[in-house]
């Protein structure tokens, strides 16, 4: 190969390397921007108690950047906010295994895991610890939306709520839903005897 051809090839190789580096940097910045956006959305959703959507945003971070601790931290914090400490510990441990250990978020993962372990050891469930009558009275004082949220806490709470004679004395659904639910035999057995099913106007 002639010297001039060598120089041209060398120049072309350098140009390709620079172009590739620019694309890689643009991709890195775009990924970083998306991750920051997802993290902010997850925190905002968790703050408004939309935990399922918040978890989905956190899982997207993990899917896009499994080597970063921020996704595991975000998901673990969401689970912790719901009192799901054992699940949070598992997520933090996965993050500690997969994430890059030199980042600040990695140190936060270690602290968050330690805090979840302590909270999991000392948590106290007043509903399952109280007598069934007290639990019934507590649930009967809650509005319908809050009772529906309580159904998703755990199987024990769900069982107590479904067996409570006072909790489901009156149920209000969106228009059209009440007649549909009345046609389902099992739903009628869940409600208290003589319960009223209303439709919103």
User: How high is the mean pLDDT of the chain?
Assistant: 75
Angle, to 10 degrees, between the axis of helix 3-47 and the axis of helix 51-64?
160
Question: Is it the case that residue 94 has pLDDT exceeding 50?
Answer: yes
Helix axes 132-140, 155-163, angle to 10 degrees: 80
- CB-CB contact of 191 with 171 (8 Å): yes
Look at residue 90 in the predicted model and tell me its pLDDT.
Answer: 92
Beta-bridge partner residues of 173: 199
Q: For the chain, what's the residue count?
A: 201
Q: What is the mean pLDDT of residues 152-179?
A: 69
Instruction: Please check the confidence at residue 91 and state whether its pLDDT lies above 60.
Output: yes
pLDDT surpassing 70 at residue 125: yes
Taking residue 53's Cβ as centre, other Cβ atoms within 10 Å add up to 15
Of the listed ranges 2-16, 27-41, 119-133, 147-161, the one predicted with least confidence? 2-16
User: What is the pLDDT, as a whole number, of residue 35?
Assistant: 83
Task: Tell me what the mean pLDDT of segment 192-198 comes to.
Answer: 48
Closest CA to 64 of 27, 114, 90, 102: 27
Which residue matches tokens 């250990």? 101
User: Within 10 Å of residue 108's Cβ, how many Cβ atoms?
Assistant: 18
Q: Is it the case that residue 82 has pLDDT exceeding 70?
A: yes
β pairing state of 196-199 and 170-173: parallel
Between CA 57 and CA 75 the distance in angstroms is 8
Tokens of 70: 């921020």
| pLDDT score, position 76 | 92
| pLDDT score at 21 | 61
The per-residue DSSP string of 110-122 comes to: HHHHHHHHHHHHH
Q: What is the mean pLDDT of residues 167-171?
A: 65
Q: Which pLDDT band holds residue 194 (cuts at 50, 70, 90)? A: very low
- Dihedral of CA 82/85/86/92: which sign? positive
Whether residue 180 has pLDDT greater than 60: no
């Amino acid at each position: 190969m002639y010297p001039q051809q060598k120089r041209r090839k060398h120049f072309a190789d350098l140009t390709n390397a620079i172009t590739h580096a620019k694309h890689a940097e643009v991709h890195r910045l775009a990924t970083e921007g998306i991750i920051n956006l997802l993290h902010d959305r997850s925190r905002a959703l968790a703050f408004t108690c939309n935990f399922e959507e918040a978890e989905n945003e956190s899982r997207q971070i993990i899917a896009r950047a499994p080597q970063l601790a921020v996704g595991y931290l975000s998901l673990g914090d969401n689970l912790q906010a719901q009192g799901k400490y054992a699940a949070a510990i598992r997520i933090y441990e996965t993050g500690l295994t997969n994430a890059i250990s030199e980042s600040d978020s990695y140190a936060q993962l270690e602290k968050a895991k330690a805090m979840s372990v302590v909270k999991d050891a000392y948590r106290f469930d007043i509903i399952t610890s109280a007598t069934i009558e007290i639990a019934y009275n507590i649930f009967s004082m809650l509005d319908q939306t809050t009772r529906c949220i309580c159904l998703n806490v755990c199987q024990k709470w769900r069982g107590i709520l479904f067996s409570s004679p006072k909790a489901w004395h009156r149920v209000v659904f969106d228009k059209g839903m009440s007649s549909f639910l009345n046609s389902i035999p099992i739903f009628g057995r869940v409600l208290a005897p003589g319960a009223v099913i209303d439709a919103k106007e």
